Amino acid sequence: MLRTMLVGSLPRPTWLFPPQQVSSLDWGLDGPTLQEGHDDAVRLAVTDQEQVGLDIVTDGEQRRRHYIWGFSEHLDGIDFGTMVKRLTRGGRYGLEIDVARVTGPVRRPTAVFVEALRFLKR
């Protein structure tokens, strides 16, 4: 039997991550409302995957602003508070975006995504 699953991100609901925000990677909600929005978006992603018959479901990366930042935001030594402009993909596309700066040794002080996994397993 071939087990089926999604690899990668599902589109986020527009109330959680408005399309016009993609360049700045800002959420459409904040505070406790953001947590509720994340939970609701994960529930929707799981339901969508179950309805199409996937064997293994994921959270669709609904809690992560970006597939790289979602992990690196939890590391020490990376400053997301003072962003700098850099060309993406080595300048191949001529697009400048705001990026975080490495300011010291990069370390993972705690496990990442454990709470997201706990929520998904409920």
Name the pTM for this structure: 0.80
> Residue 22: its pLDDT value, please?
57
113: closest CA among 79, 63, 67? 63
- The answer to whether the CB of 71 falls within 8 A of the CB of 37 is no
Going 11 to 7 to 120 to 75, the CA torsion angle's sign is: negative
pLDDT tens track, the chain, 122 positions: 899 998 889 999 999 988 776 556 678 898 999 999 999 999 999 999 999 999 999 999 999 988 888 899 999 999 998 989 988 888 888 888 888 999 999 999 999 999 999 999 98
Tell me which DSSP letter residue 90 carries: G
8 A C-beta contact, residue 72 and residue 29: no
